[in-house]
Structure 1
């Protein structure tokens, strides 16, 4: 038996497990289709290169357990992302920006032609973020689909980690290591876990991400391939982090599923 496609999420919410006829007869007006987008890229000496995609699949599987009565469907994850900031570090398999744009657009058009009205781009790799923000609007214009873009809310775990980790622990650090220890612990080589933080102590207005930002590749900011303190990770923290992130994710998915663009202007009165 292939255990990869077992469990509630795959039995109840995995769109490709249905036949074409089944999908044709699904209620489309109130359905939300989720396209997970991850990455295959280096995450230091201790984590698998599949980390980002594992997180996408693991969070969605857990969320679906709490969304049993919602008309929400999950597509297979795109396991490759725009990871060129990690190229040259072994195991990184990157798509170009133009290739990822084309793949996402082609799949969105396919979702539209199957009759669905809502699509979520569910992203778990930071290098995809800006591109998918842009693509969400391009898909809206091209297809008429209502399009959402969501990164899981890692800020929900801030109470569990230090301020230094919150600001600089962006890759392979305490959060991702804890999550993989919970989701797929036998793939973690914890004895090799490093600690490395980028040196921005004299810069108060420049950040690795956000509104005041400088362009970087991983070799600019790290010797180990990570940014954060992986040694502080535990499976117990990973379980708590998963629960906190999934709690917010479930609320957000419900809101997206019931959201309507048609409601945004209905109360306007021309005076």
Structure 2
């Protein structure tokens, strides 16, 4: 159920019966010469809408701009700073709590958002507002990703390329797959990441001239469909599990009892 398509009485009927919502989040950032800047938020929205359609749970509009300053050197990349992103998502999610939602899944498709969504979830849980957790699509199906691709890449690689081929193939510049591979980094090894135990880079361009990693020529719409269906299945299972949990079991545990003999 997509919230923006409903009327307010219909939503009243929903919260009378259910208290769970999904919030898709992504980014608007460079994904190499072959993929649109919309890649992450297209994936997040497609998975969230699919899971909501299968289950009947509520789906909100997508947060399209995320924490992406590490891609800022590439044309068109948009970002918000982490404090503003956290505050915005927290405020949006508190809106849902006001209307009767007490559990939320952040359906995320951008790695730069992860730690900030977890922080928002902690804030909301710790003050007793609701239980909100972050879910990242590729982390739900790691074995399938490694089975399908020798070099999946952490950004703009064949897993994301295949997903967009499945979701919005007309947006993939398929004639640029070779140049994406050859101008990027196929295998991002430890030598690209650290010196003597220290992470020495901050931005994607410091490791990849065109901003992407992996072998994009391994991508296919068939692989994208397999990834999409497997990830959607995992999300549906997560929603079902979360809906079954008593809310008191999800919120922050109480402080431990004082040690024997201690004074209050």
TM-score of the superposed pair, with normalisation by structure 2? 0.83
- The corresponding residue for 2:27 is 39
Q: CA RMSD in A?
A: 2.6
Indicate if the aligned counterparts of 2:52 and 2:58 stay in contact, CA closer than 8 A.
Answer: no
Instruction: Please tell me whether Structure 1 or Structure 2 has the larger radius of gyration of its CA atoms.
Output: 2
Tell me the secondary structure at the aligned position of residue 26 of structure 1. Answer: helix
- The corresponding residue for 2:257 is none
Q: In 2, distance between residues paired with 1:213 and 1:20?
A: 50
**Is residue 105 of structure 1 aligned with residue 90 of structure 2?**
yes
**Is residue 50 of structure 1 aligned with residue 35 of structure 2?**
no
TM-score of the superposed pair, with normalisation by structure 1? 0.81
Indicate if the aligned counterparts of 1:112 and 1:143 stay in contact, CA closer than 8 A.
Answer: no
Structure 1 residues 64-75: aligned runs within 5 Å: 64-68=52-56, 72-75=57-60
Q: How many residues align?
A: 244
Q: 1:259 aligns with which of 245, 249, 254?
A: 245
Q: 1:110 to 1:214 in 2, by over 3 A?
A: farther
Q: 2:234 aligns with which of 245, 248, 252?
A: 248
- Structure 2 spans left out of the alignment, 5+ residues: 254-264
Q: In 1, distance between residues paired with 2:87 and 2:16?
A: 24
Tell me the secondary structure at the aligned position of residue 58 of structure 2. Answer: strand
Structure 1 residues 22-171: aligned runs within 5 Å: 22-28=10-16, 30-68=18-56, 72-142=57-127, 144-152=129-137, 153-155=140-142, 156-162=144-150, 164-165=151-152, 169-171=153-155
Q: In 1, distance between residues paired with 2:187 and 2:108?
A: 24
- Structure 1 spans left out of the alignment, 5+ residues: 1-12, 266-271
Indicate if the aligned counterparts of 1:38 and 1:79 stay in contact, CA closer than 8 A.
Answer: yes
More displaced 10-residue stretch of structure 1: 108-117 or 142-151: 142-151
Question: 1:40, CA displacement in angstroms?
Answer: 0.3
Q: 1:214 to 1:127 in 2, by over 3 A?
A: farther
Indicate if the aligned counterparts of 2:108 and 2:134 stay in contact, CA closer than 8 A.
Answer: yes
Q: 1:239 aligns with which of 225, 228, 240?
A: 225
Tell me the secondary structure at the aligned position of residue 34 of structure 1. Answer: strand
